[in-house]
Amino acid sequence: MKRALVVAAALALTVATATPASAYPAPGRVTGDIGVHDPSAVKRPDGTYLVAHTGNDIALKTSTDRVAFRNAGSVFPGGASWTNAYTGGSRNLWAPDLSYRNGQYYLYYSASTFGSNRSAIFLATSPSGNSGTWTHRGLVVETRTSDNVNAIDPDLVVDDQGRWWLSFGSFWSGIKMIALNPSTGLRSDSTIRSLAGRGGGAIEAPNIVKRGSYYYLFVSFDLCCQGASSTYRVMVGRSTSVTGPYVDRNGVALTSGGGTEVLAGQGGVHGTGHQDVLADNDGDVLVYHYYADNGASLLGINLLAIDSSGWPYVH
């Protein structure tokens, strides 16, 4: 009954006001090795699931049923020396974006240090997605401390015309987009497009999906990485064009700080964010991380749907 009321409330929303946090469903049931940060998930051709997330050499997990998860090693068990200039020698690589296209797995991922925009996004590919099978394909985009952009949190989207785009960004001037060459997966021109921003405020982790007539840009507002004190929340805007402009439910441009809340912390669930939308047999799934009361970062999964006004909600 409670779930039915939540869905009904979400369907009734007609303005861009934030839903009370108590209205959101709890994360769905997951078991096993569910310690993740910045998860990205893909459904494999055999029906199983592969998750990549922030960790040493990019951590991997697998599941046969989207409930029980187990450790599956790392993308680069031998290390990724080409990232050292951006990580200060740390093997901790961030915010992977995982997808399966053209018979192979693509992984965009970030190399940086906390609070710095001396950052880079790289690409790797694999025929199987398994640990140790990934090939380094090169640098996609980098930023320096003199830039007003931060090259972390990549997300690949392929538009209706088959063009490849990479959105990315964290703080600074906000969420950006570059065009990619579909043949290589690497950058194809020098243009940087602006998708969203909060005047230097906390916005990051873009994820774009096309549903119906709209491209939906999901982002995370506020602060991650503070354990149970994290204030991350999932926001969304939409556009009929993959490059924007994106607006929220009240018509406010995301480049002007707009955004409609989709999910926020409640009770013992803190800092919900770094979302990834996965299309599955039972509908869309929102994959994200949240923090428990003890500060542990855990895998969150909820079903995601579009209401009668064309706006996403979790259920």
Write out the catalytic residue numbers. Answer: 38, 204
* CA-wise closest residue to 116 among 164, 175, 170: 170
Contact indicator for 274, 37 with CB cutoff of 8 Å: yes
Give the residues across from 214 on adjacent strands.
Answer: 211
Q: Which residues contact 262 (CB under 8 A, 6 or more apart)?
A: 218, 234, 235, 236, 275, 286, 304, 312, 313, 314
User: First vs last Cα of the chain: how many Å apart?
Assistant: 12
Q: In whole angstroms, give the CA distance from residue 151 to residue 223.
A: 18
Q: Which residues contact 306 (CB under 8 A, 6 or more apart)?
A: 211, 212, 312, 313
Q: In whole angstroms, give the CA distance from residue 67 to residue 174.
A: 34
Going by the DSSP 8-state scheme, the letter that residue 82 receives in this structure is G
Contact indicator for 107, 97 with CB cutoff of 8 Å: yes
Going by the DSSP 8-state scheme, the letter that residue 27 receives in this structure is P
* Amino acid of residue 62: T
Q: In whole angstroms, give the CA distance from residue 249 to residue 238.
A: 8
The token duo for 145 is 């401390």
Which residue is it, tokens 């999910």? 263
Q: In whole angstroms, give the CA distance from residue 236 to residue 245.
A: 13
